[in-house]
Chains A and B, each alone.
Chain A
């Protein structure tokens, strides 16, 4: 009985996904969604991939990374360089895959020594790492230095965005419900106790870091395939912060929180577009206010569920963990 219900629920999940995909595809086809809106949707999807994967590292495994933009840039540049030479769907997919693999490889190599560090030290090490990556791209010939790469053919479309976004969310949420995922979470909870219970903490930290870097590489490749041009300054410290803000705003340890926050921030950013001078001032102010009044983010570590939505209707908006 319970099993049957579960099957049904997962069927509904697939149906919901397909439905979202078809509706947006249809709206794009009949031009209800204009170019500007499409770009916003692309940004949201890419940010969701970035935030969900960073959440795996920071929210679930408890490793504080400030270098996610570095991995994104590896994916973006790799894909762009391949696309500029092989402008075809095959080239795009090859670029995407090699970008993700390369990002994962760098993540693995950087993670191995640095993940022994704790808390703030790790954050600073990853920040340093992503700055080094940016400076390398700034100086390489193949990336065309500070001017960056332009004229990258557009291959990223709603189909790819949707598939990779949904794929990332599904695979990471599956992973988190596996024994390996629980091992990652136990490292966040208490690294010493986890080790004493037979969990190889370093291994799972590096695993989470590598998976996160892989996904960031995919996000970067999608970015390169959509926005025509790349320059190193796009992937600076501020981009890493942007991703971290989505994770913290959504709630560390809540995948649905990351999704919600990515959408919400895109909307706010669209709204702030009308005040270019004050955009960053308001953004930073919002950040400070949220941290002071709701440091656990929108969702805390809870996941959004249908039960919660109905509960929300009953006692209107959160007071559940508000005091903490």
Chain B
């Protein structure tokens, strides 16, 4: 069953069409890659899915908990609560807050006490804060950040900041997780570790994952299906083997190589 249907999604900025007529489908539990040369519109698709951009046209349908809702153009926090979590390509942690606070903030929309209890620290505050602390600690330990809970996010080494990005997205309890270049800037050993981590969290949290990644070996290794974007348009869809053999994909990438060189 499809957890996400994207129908004819288009986004233009002024005269520039960044995403054009994209139609995609993610089935529950899948791990799907979204690849394409630089500037192909991959991150724009993520920003549309997570509500940071309002689409010019098209629809995004999310099926969770037996309900189908159209989320296009909704506020990011609403979309997050509906079950789409994301990470950012250019790490956007709450830098001056502790690792645990980063995670606890992402759990905020599941907190069950009101402003009054926040002011007066009533029993519901103590109960819920206790639960938050426990759950966030548990999550941090799963992500190998347990001993860093009290550190400021900005003081973590780069690789751990990337892990924290993922931990924070998981803390929002998503059904669909969008990972925007999680391996960017990592060395091969770190990337291998990350690959395992992504596969593991998918099992552990029963997630559907959509992944943007430049590291082809990573994408080919873990994705079950791949979508390829070029100049804002979908040019191919298929299994890693199919994509590897696809002429248009090779052209798109070679074209980029030629212009880059």
Contact = CB atoms under 8 A, between A and B. Distances in A.
Nearest to B112: A179
A174 B120 contact: yes
Contact of A186 (B105, B113, B125): B105
Given A186-B94, A189-B96, A200 B75 contact: yes
B29 to A, nearest CB: 23
Contacts of A181: 118
Interface in B90-131: 92-97, 101, 104-109, 111, 113, 115, 117-121, 125, 128-129
Interface string A188-220: 011011111111110000010000000000000
B248 interface: no
B11 interface: no
A34 interface: no
30 contacts: A171-B119, A174-B121, A175-B115, A178-B117, A178-B118, A179-B108, A179-B111, A179-B132, A182-B97, A182-B104, A183-B108, A185-B97, A185-B101, A189-B97, A192-B52, A192-B76, A192-B92, A195-B52, A195-B75, A195-B76, A195-B80, A196-B51, A196-B52, A197-B85, A197-B108, A198-B81, A198-B106, A199-B108, A200-B75, A200-B77
B108 to A, nearest CB: 5
A194 B94 CA distance: 8
A144 interface: no
Interface of B: 50-52, 75-77, 80-81, 85-86, 88, 92-97, 101, 104-109, 111, 113, 115, 117-121, 125, 128-129, 132, 168-169, 171-172
Interface residue SS majority, chain A = helix
B119 A175 contact: yes
Contacts of B93: 190, 193
A183 B109 CA distance: 10
A180 B81 CA distance: 16
Contact of A179 (B80, B81, B94, B104): B104
Given A174-B118, A189-B96, A198 B108 contact: yes
Contacts of A189: 94-97
A192 B51 CA distance: 10
Interface in A148-196: 171, 174-175, 177-183, 185-186, 189-190, 192-196
B125 A178 contact: yes
Contacts of B121: 174, 177-178
A128 to B, nearest CB: 27
A198 B94 contact: no
A195 B172 CA distance: 11
B94 A193 contact: yes
Among A190, A193, A194, A197, the most chain B Cβ lie within 10 Å of the Cβ of: A197
B123 to A, nearest CB: 13
